[in-house]
Amino acid sequence: MRSEPSGAGPGRRKPLISGNWKMHHTHLEAIQVVQKLSYRLRPADYGAVDVSVHPPFTGLRSIQTLLDADRIPISLGAQNCHWEDQGAFTGEISAAMLAKLTVAYVIVGHSERRQLFAEDDAAVARKLGAVMRHSMTPILCVGETLEEREAGSAQTKVESQVEAALDGVSADQVGALVVAYEPIWAIGTGRTATAEDAQTMCAAVRSVVARVAGDGPAGAVRVQYGGSVNVTNIAELMAQPDVDGALVGGASLDPDTFARIVQYREDG
Ligand code: 13P
């Protein structure tokens, strides 16, 4: 049964809609996308929704400069980091380096990292700790495979991923977290979870947080849904009481489309 954390009612948490660009957009393209996005978003949009963009590492510095110079209230995000601050780790980027670029959010444990780059729960937990140590907000990704869903173990899988990542995180830090529930079978497939399934799983994530850290952090933690989010399904997903935002892949690459997703309140 779902426990109902105190203070966890709808409307209490400001939604966060994040664009995970994955390995798309050169730094020059990234600048154009953010400029166009900023032309389309209005103060009321930023008032209602926090927005972050997560370019590849090569775009971070350019986007940081643009956001600063034009005072654009979009938050800068990264897609991954290493847990050590520095060292002999060829090809890696540390959380310390990202913090210096005024990165606000760092995605950790994306399923593509877990599946294609063999990141296990222990590595994800260390990355999460590094992001918090540098005063940035982790976006912890969790989600089940199609086989796990069909076997009826989706909730168990996701709960165990959240528990493993939160091991060692203090209760007061947990409330500042963002967790993204991203069913692997919905990523890049055009097949979205139903709003009911998204709600059930996001509520399950919140229940784990309540168990691990208490009702206060559970009421504060923001839980995003990710997996084939687009302009037609965003409003229904966002209407769910435990869905506090979206982690958007493909549909965030185009600034017009991503702006309409951020403006989901008007599209329905
Ligand atoms: P899509 O929106 O392309 O399905 O990707 C979701 C995702 O993986 C975001 O992190």
Give residue-wise pLDDT tens across range 59-99.
999 999 999 999 999 999 999 999 999 999 999 999 999 99
Buried b (16+ CB within 10 A) or exposed e, 202-222: bbbbbbbbbbbbbbbbbbbbb
For the domain covering 16-267, report its CATH number: 3.20.20.70
User: What is the mean predicted confidence (pLDDT) over 127-140?
Assistant: 98
Catalytic residue among 110, 112, 119, 134: 110
Residue nearest to atom 9 of ligand 1 (CA): 249
Structure letter (DSSP) for residue 45: H
**What's the 88 CA to ligand 1 centre distance in angstroms?**
31
pLDDT in tens, 167-191: 989 988 999 999 999 999 999 998 9
For residue 182, indicate whether it is catalytic: yes
Q: Is 110 a catalytic residue?
A: yes
Percent of the chain's residues with pLDDT above 70: 95
* CB-based contact 209:221 (threshold 8 Å): yes
User: Which residue from 107, 248, 253, 254 has its CB within 8 A of the most atoms of ligand 1, so it is best to mutate?
Assistant: 248
Instruction: Please state, in angstroms and rounded to a whole number, the distance separating the CA atoms of residues 129 and 89.
Output: 18
Task: Show me where the domains of the chain are located.
Answer: 16-267
Instruction: Compute the Cα dihedral for 211, 200, 182, 15 and give only its sign.
Output: negative
Q: pLDDT higher for 266 or 29?
A: 29
Q: Mind listing the pLDDT tens digit for each residue in 206-225?
A: 999 999 999 999 999 999 99
Averaged pLDDT score across all residues of the chain: 94
Kindly tell me the burial class for residue 158, based on how many C-beta atoms sit within 10 Å of its own C-beta (0-12, 13-18, 19 or more): buried
Q: Provide the pLDDT for residue 267.
A: 53
**Can you give the pLDDT at residue 1?**
31
Tell me what percent of the residues of the chain surpass a pLDDT of 90: 93
Enter the pTM of the model: 0.95
Which residue ranges have their beta carbon within 6 Å of ligand 1? Answer: 20, 110, 182, 187-188, 226-229, 247-251
Site to probe by mutation for ligand 1, drawn from 247, 257, 258 as the one with most ligand atoms within 8 Å of Cβ, is 247
